[in-house]
Structures are given as C-alpha cells and as structure tokens.
Structure 1
Amino acid sequence: MAPVSLDALPQAVTRYLAAHRLHDTAAEIANFTSDATVTDDGTTHSGIDAIERWTDRTAGEYSYTIEPVAVDETSDREYTVTQRLEGDFPGGIVDLHFRFTLRDGLIERLVIEP
C-alpha cells in the first residue's frame, strides 16, 4: 500500500467521507453504484436500498466524532481510509479501516472493519 493524502482520493470517496461525517444519508448513497455492497460488522448489505437502510440505522445508533488518521492506495481502484471514531459506543474509541473499491468513478464495494 502506498500512503496518499485525503486530497488525492477519488471524488466519490471524499464525497462519501464528508457525507458520512455529517450523517447525510442521501449524499452518502449517491456515491455508490446501483449494485454496490457494504460490509460492516460482518454483515453485507447489497444494493442501494439495503445500503440506504444500513446508513439510516447506523447514523442514529451512537453519537461519535470521526477523524481520518491514514490513507492508503492499494491500486488505482482500491483505497483504504483508516478513521478514528470516538463516542458513546462500547469501548468509546476505535480505529476502523474503510476499504473502498471503485468502478466507473463510484464506490462498488465498501468494507468497514477494525
């Protein structure tokens, strides 16, 4: 993996991250392909409708701040953004890897894991 700056990320990733920070569901899902998948907490959500339900649910579960701490480019289609979350969830602080795979300028796959 090669480190990159946040400014060097593709627009779909930067737009998603900004929308995620604001809990803006409509802006988040606008960055996904229609057949995208998101895997979070070991569960995969397939398609825009499922991703929208997941986004709505997770936005209201806990209050937290989110700050990017590392950005890596795995290939011209794959990027990992490590983000530190601090909030009222069990443990209170966690670093999560947001692994993005892109297709045609949109997010085709997102895997979120420690």
Structure 2
Amino acid sequence: MKLPNNIEGLIKAQNDLDTTTFATYFTEHATVSDEGSSYSGREEIKGWIQEATEKYNMQLTPIDFHQNDTKGKLTVEVSGTFPGSPAVMNYHLELEDVLISSLKITD
C-alpha cells in the first residue's frame, strides 16, 4: 500500500518511539481525541503520545488509508503492552496541507 509521505512519516515516528518527530506532523494548534480525552496544540500532543508510548510501547501497522481532499482515514493494527493487543484502530484525520490539524482515534 502506498501512503502519503506525511502518513508514512507519522507511522515511522511512532514505530521508532520518536515522540518529538511524531508531534511535528501536527499543526501548532492541532487537536487529538483519544480514549475520551482531548489534547490541543503540538506540546500537549507530544505529551500525550510520549505518555502512551512509555505506557504501552505501541507499534503501528497500516492496514488501509483513504483520503478525500482534506479528510483522511487511516486504519492501523496497534500492538503493544495493553489488554487486547493487537487492536484495529481508525485514525480520522483532518489535514492542512501536509500537517494534521485534527486526529480522532476510534476502534
């Protein structure tokens, strides 16, 4: 499956456990919704992914990706040290150019 460079980079940063690079794929005022919590801005997003990575040691395997204009849906298998691993998750994305302005994670 051919992924856009920004999505491929986001997955690589996660799999490399590189939370600093992961956060650079988001706009300065981006929002993330995950497990009933919301995070706003690149610094909060970096904190969120750093905490989740340290807690769960997550790895992403892309399953599917569709993009229509500024909206995208990335389906990934997420594995790590959490109950029910691996799990299939959907990343609902809103994009501004090549950066992510909104990410909502659902199962």
TM-score, normalised to structure 2, is 0.89
Aligned residues: 107
CA RMSD of aligned residues (A): 1.5
Q: Specify the SS of the correspondent of 1:35.
A: strand
The 8 Å contact of residues 37 and 44 in structure 1, kept in 2 or not, is answered as yes
User: For residues 46-98 of structure 1, what are the alpha-carbon distances to aligned partners after superposition, in whole Å with 9 as ceiling and x for unaligned?
Assistant: 0111111101101111134321111122x211111111123331112210001
**Which residue identity is paired with 2:42?**
I
Aligned to 2:2: 6
Q: Specify the SS of the correspondent of 1:6.
A: coil
Unaligned 5+ runs, structure 1 = none
Closer/same/farther in 2, CA of residues 105 and 47 from structure 1, 3 Å limit: same
Greater Cα radius of gyration, structure 1 or 2 = 1
Identity between Structure 1 and Structure 2 (%): 26
TM-score, normalised to structure 1, is 0.84
User: For residues 2-54 of structure 1, what are the alpha-carbon distances to aligned partners after superposition, in whole Å with 9 as ceiling and x for unaligned?
Assistant: xxx433x2x32221111012110111111111000011112110011111110
Of residues 58, 65, 70 in structure 2, which corresponds to 1:77? 70
